[in-house]
Chains A and B, each alone.
Chain A
Amino acid sequence: MDAIILQILNGLDKGSAYALIALGLTLIFGTLGVVNFAHGALFMIGAFVAVTLQRILSLSYEQIDPEKTDFLGNPLKVQVPYVDSWFGADVGAWLIDWSVPIAIVMAIPVMLLVGFIMERGLIKHFYKRPHADQILVTFGLAIVLQELVKYFFGANPIQTGAPDAFAGSMDFGSLLGFPPNSIMYPYWRLVYFLFAAIVIGGVFAFLQFTTFGMVVRAGMADRETVGLLGINIDKRFTLMFGLAAAVAGVAGVMYTPILAPNYHMGMDFLVLSFVVVVVGGMGSLPGAVAAGFLLGILQSFASMNEIKSLIPGIDQVIIYLVAIIILLTRPRGLMGRAGVMEE
C-alpha cells in the first residue's frame, strides 16, 4: 500500500512537469494555432535562468590563499563571491542557497520577454502557414537555442540544488495514518507539486475571470470569433505567447533541483509533451493537465518491480502504449474537439 502511495506521489510529480509544459503548448496551439516545437527549449531556457542566477550570485573575485596549492602546485586562488563581501558571508550564502526560488522572480520577466521576441520576430509570420512549416521553423529555432546554451554553459548537466531548508524528506505517511517513516517524500518534490497546482490554478483562474481570458477562451473555441472581437488582437496574441513561455520557464526553474539542467533537456521533453498534449486532446487545457498527470502516474506504476517483472520493458513503452490505446478508443484524445489539427 505504501509503495503504491509513493508511486502516486512520484507520478504526480512527474505529471506536474508534463502538465506544465503541455499547458503552455496547448495555450499557444489553442489560441494562436501554432505548433511550437521550440516549447521544450523554453522549458530549458527557464532552467538555465536558474543556472545563470546561481552563476551571477556566485560571481567571485580571487583571493590568494598561500596555505594551499592548486593542481599545478601554484598558490591556490580562492574564489570569494561578491555577494559574500557585500552582504556578509551569511546573507551571501543564503542568497546563493536560495537561488532557485529567487530565479522564479527573474524568470517571469525574462521568459515573457523571450516569448514576446519570439512571437513578434518569428511566430507571427507563421500563423497562416501550414503546420509543417511551423514545425520546421520552430524546430530550427529549438536547435539554435539549445546550441547557444551549449556554447555558453557546456554539455554537462549543472547541479542547481534546492535551498537547504527544503533538503530532506517529509514523513508523508504519518499524515495519512501510516506508521512513521513508511512514506517519506522529499520536501522539494512536494513543493514542486504544490507549485504546479498553483500555476495551473492561476492560469485557469486567469482565463476564467479576466476579460483577456474570456477573449482567449472564445478564441480557443472558435478562432474566427476572436478576429471579429478584433480589438488589438495582435497584442493579445503576443501576450498569450509570453504567458505560455513564462509558464514553461518557471516550470523549468523549479525543476532544476530535481533534474540537473543540461542543454538538451528541452528536446528530451519535447516528444513527451506532444504525446501528452495529443492524448489530452489538441487545444484542450483541462485535457492537457489531465493527460499530464495520467501519464505521469501510469509511468510511475509501470516502473514498479512487480509490474516490470510481469512485462519486461513496460516502463519504457507505457507512455506510447497508453497514447495508442487512448487515441484509438477516443479519436480526439481525452477532451479534444472535432476538426482541430485533423486536416
Chain B
Amino acid sequence: MKMLGLSKKDTTFLLIVIALTLLTPILLQPFPASSTLAQFNAGYPDLMQRFAIFGIFAIGFNILFGLTGYLSFGHAAFLGVGSYSVVWMYKLLGYNVVPGLILAIIVSALFALLIGFVSLRRSGIYFSILTLAFAQMCYNLAYSVLTPLTNGETGLQVYTNDAQVLMGENSPTSPHFFGIVMNESATWNVGGWQFVFNNGYYFTAIIAILVFYLSLRIFRSPFGLMLRAIKTNQTRLNYTGINTRPYTLAAFVISGMYAGLAGGLMASMDPLAGAERMQWTASGEVVLMVILGGAGTLMGPILGAGFIKYFENIFSKINDQVLHGWFAFLPDGLENFLIGVSHFFVGKSWHLTLGLLFMLVVIFLPGGLVEGGQRIANAFRKRKSGGDDAETEAQPSAAE
C-alpha cells in the first residue's frame, strides 16, 4: 500500500497519524464525565486545538533543529507575527480566517528570511543568541512602543468599530472558514461519556495532518538528506560542492512559516493576539517540546507538544477541592498527608512536576519520549521473538 509518494512504511505511519488525529476527541476522553478521573480528560475543544497548533509549531521547529541542529531561541517571534497578521485581517476584512492565515505565512516567511539571513552567518550558541536577541526585541517592542500595532499588554483584538469591509449582513461574528464557525461543536453522548467534535479542532487537525505530511516528505527528500548532512558534518558538505547557507536558510524560513501558521491558527481559534506569545519563554517552550519528544524524529515533536500542553492545562487545575474528592475514602490523617504531598506537584505547583519530568526524561531517555516508546516496543518484540530481530529495528534511519 503506497500512496502520495510515500513508502509503504511511511504510508502506514501517516495513516496511523491521521486516524489518531481524527479520533482525538474520543481518545482523549477515556473517563466517563461523572467519574472522579474525569479531571484527566483532555478532550475539550480548546486543549485539542492547542495540541494540534503546538504540534504544528513543534513539527516546524523540528525541521530546523531536528534536521540541521541549529537551535533557534527565537521562533516565538514568528508565532506572534502570525497571530497579529490574522487579527489584523479580522479587523480590516472580516472574520474569515483564510486571508489572515495566508498573510500570517507570508509575513512570518519574510521575518524568517530577514532574521535567518542575519543569524545564520553564525553557528552554534552564537546563532542561538542572535535569534533570541531578535525575538526579544520583537517582544519588548510589541509590548510597549509598538502598541498602536499590537495593542500591547492587552493583546490585539477586534473592536466593533473596526472596518471589517468584507463582513456581510449574515457573516458569522467570530472566526470562521467560509461559514464554518470555529467555536461551534457537535456533542455525542454515549453512556456516561460525552464526546465533543469541534469545528475549530478539525480545521486545525486537518491542517496539522497536511503539514505533518509535508514534513514527512521533507524528511525523506534530498533536501532533508542535505539538512541532516549539515547537522553531521558541514566541512565535508562544503568540500562536496554544497553551499550550506541556502539550505539552512530554507530550513529556517520553512520552520518560520510553520510557526507563523501555528500563530495564525491560535488567532483563528481565539481572536486575540497577545505579546507574551513572542517572549523567550515561548521560544523555550517549543525547544523543550521537541527535545522532550525526541529531536529529529517525526513523532517526537508532536508527543512533546501534547505532553507539555496537557500538563499546563490539566495539572494546573487540580486544586485542594479536587484532591479532597480523590482521597476522601481514606482515613483523615492519611488523606491530609497525601494532599500535603500532592501539593508539591499539582495545582499551583504544576511547574515543579514539569521541571522534574524534564529532568527525568533527559536523564533516562536521552532520545526523548520517542526513545521511551521504542524501548517499550523493543522489549515487547524481544519477548515475542526471543530477541533476535530487535537489532535491525534498533537502528532506524535517523529520521524515524
Please tell me which one of the listed residues A139, A317, A319, A343 contacts residue B124 in the complex, with CB atoms under 8 A apart.
Answer: A343
Considering only residues 124-155 of chain A, those with a C-beta below 8 Å from chain B are 125, 129, 131-133, 135-137, 139-144, 146-148, 151
Please tell me which one of the listed residues A143, A144, A321, A342 contacts residue B137 in the complex, with CB atoms under 8 A apart.
Answer: A321
Residues A324 and B362 in contact, CB atoms below 8 Å apart: no
- Residue A310 CB within 8 A of the other chain: no
- Residue B366 CB within 8 A of the other chain: yes
- Residue A83 CB within 8 A of the other chain: no
Residues of A close to B118: CB separation below 8 A = 324, 328
Residues B355 and A323 in contact, CB atoms below 8 Å apart: no
Considering only residues 132-167 of chain B, those with a C-beta below 8 Å from chain A are 132-134, 136-137, 140-141, 144-145
Please tell me which one of the listed residues B134, B287, B352, B357 contacts residue A147 in the complex, with CB atoms under 8 A apart.
Answer: B352
Residues A327 and B359 in contact, CB atoms below 8 Å apart: no
Residues B136 and A342 in contact, CB atoms below 8 Å apart: no
- Complex CA distance for A122 and B356, rounded to whole angstroms: 13
Residues A320 and B133 in contact, CB atoms below 8 Å apart: yes
Identify the interface centre among B126, B358, B361: most chain A CB within 10 Å of its CB: B126
Identify the interface centre among A279, A312, A316, A331: most chain B CB within 10 Å of its CB: A316
- Residue A15 CB within 8 A of the other chain: no
- Residue B106 CB within 8 A of the other chain: no
Considering only residues 12-55 of chain A, those with a C-beta below 8 Å from chain B are 35
- Residue A275 CB within 8 A of the other chain: yes
A270 to chain B, nearest CB (A): 9
Residues A147 and B363 in contact, CB atoms below 8 Å apart: no
Residues B124 and A342 in contact, CB atoms below 8 Å apart: yes
- Complex CA distance for A284 and B356, rounded to whole angstroms: 32
Residues of A close to B129: CB separation below 8 A = 274-275, 278-279, 323, 327
User: How does the 8 Å CB contact mask read for B60-80 relative to A, with 1 for contact and 0 for none?
Assistant: 000000000101000000000
Residues of A close to B140: CB separation below 8 A = 313, 316-317, 320
Residues A140 and B358 in contact, CB atoms below 8 Å apart: yes
Please tell me which one of the listed residues B125, B280, B292, B351 contacts residue A136 in the complex, with CB atoms under 8 A apart.
Answer: B292
- Residue A191 CB within 8 A of the other chain: no
Residues of B close to A189: CB separation below 8 A = none
Minimum-distance CB pairs A-B, first 5: A143-B355, A140-B358, A313-B145, A320-B133, A342-B124
Residue of B nearest to A343 (CB): B124
From known contacts A129-B366, A316-B140, infer whether A139 and B284 are also in contact, taking CB-CB under 8 Å: yes
Residues of B close to A131: CB separation below 8 A = 71, 125
Residues of B close to A279: CB separation below 8 A = 129
From known contacts A312-B145, A342-B126, infer whether A148 and B133 are also in contact, taking CB-CB under 8 Å: no
Residues B358 and A147 in contact, CB atoms below 8 Å apart: no
> What are 29 A-B contacts defined by CB distance under 8 Å?
A122-B363, A132-B71, A132-B287, A132-B291, A135-B287, A136-B361, A139-B358, A140-B356, A140-B359, A141-B355, A142-B355, A143-B355, A144-B352, A147-B349, A278-B129, A279-B129, A282-B126, A316-B137, A316-B141, A317-B141, A320-B134, A321-B133, A323-B133, A324-B130, A327-B126, A327-B130, A328-B130, A333-B126, A343-B123
A342 to chain B, nearest CB (A): 4
Residues B137 and A320 in contact, CB atoms below 8 Å apart: yes
Tell me whether chain B's interface is mostly helix, strand or loop, or mixed: helix
B295 to chain A, nearest CB (A): 7
- Residue B354 CB within 8 A of the other chain: yes
Residues of B close to A136: CB separation below 8 A = 287-288, 291-292, 358, 361-362
Residues B124 and A140 in contact, CB atoms below 8 Å apart: no
User: How does the 8 Å CB contact mask read for B189-213 relative to A, with 1 for contact and 0 for none?
Assistant: 0000000000000000000000000
B231 to chain A, nearest CB (A): 9
By a beta-carbon cutoff of 8 Å, the part of chain B in contact with chain A is 69, 71, 118, 121-126, 129-130, 132-134, 136-137, 140-141, 144-145, 280, 284, 287-288, 291-292, 295, 344, 349, 351-352, 354-359, 361-363, 366
Considering only residues 297-336 of chain A, those with a C-beta below 8 Å from chain B are 312-313, 316-317, 319-321, 323-324, 327-328, 331-333
Identify the interface centre among B144, B292, B363: most chain A CB within 10 Å of its CB: B363
Identify the interface centre among A140, A144, A328, A331: most chain B CB within 10 Å of its CB: A140
Considering only residues 264-285 of chain A, those with a C-beta below 8 Å from chain B are 271, 274-275, 278-279, 282
Residues of A close to B295: CB separation below 8 A = 132
Residues of A close to B134: CB separation below 8 A = 320, 324
- Complex CA distance for A340 and B145, rounded to whole angstroms: 37
Residues of B close to A144: CB separation below 8 A = 352, 355-356, 359
Residues B71 and A324 in contact, CB atoms below 8 Å apart: no
Residue of B nearest to A148 (CB): B352
Residue of B nearest to A274 (CB): B129
Residues of B close to A343: CB separation below 8 A = 69, 123-124
Residues B123 and A317 in contact, CB atoms below 8 Å apart: no
- Complex CA distance for A275 and B137, rounded to whole angstroms: 13
- Complex CA distance for A275 and B141, rounded to whole angstroms: 18
- Complex CA distance for A317 and B135, rounded to whole angstroms: 10
Residues of A close to B349: CB separation below 8 A = 147, 151
Residue of A nearest to B140 (CB): A316
- Residue A341 CB within 8 A of the other chain: yes
Please tell me which one of the listed residues B141, B357, B362 contacts residue A313 in the complex, with CB atoms under 8 A apart.
Answer: B141
A274 to chain B, nearest CB (A): 6
- Complex CA distance for A331 and B130, rounded to whole angstroms: 11
Residues B132 and A271 in contact, CB atoms below 8 Å apart: yes
Please tell me which one of the listed residues B123, B357, B362 contacts residue A133 in the complex, with CB atoms under 8 A apart.
Answer: B362
Residue of B nearest to A29 (CB): B125
Residues of B close to A125: CB separation below 8 A = 363
Residue of B nearest to A35 (CB): B125
- Complex CA distance for A172 and B132, rounded to whole angstroms: 38
Residues A143 and B124 in contact, CB atoms below 8 Å apart: no
Identify the interface centre among B118, B129, B145, B354: most chain A CB within 10 Å of its CB: B129
- Complex CA distance for A226 and B250, rounded to whole angstroms: 40
Residues of A close to B352: CB separation below 8 A = 143-144, 147-148, 151
Residues A133 and B130 in contact, CB atoms below 8 Å apart: no
A50 to chain B, nearest CB (A): 23
Residues of A close to B344: CB separation below 8 A = 151
From known contacts A129-B366, A144-B359, infer whether A316 and B145 are also in contact, taking CB-CB under 8 Å: yes
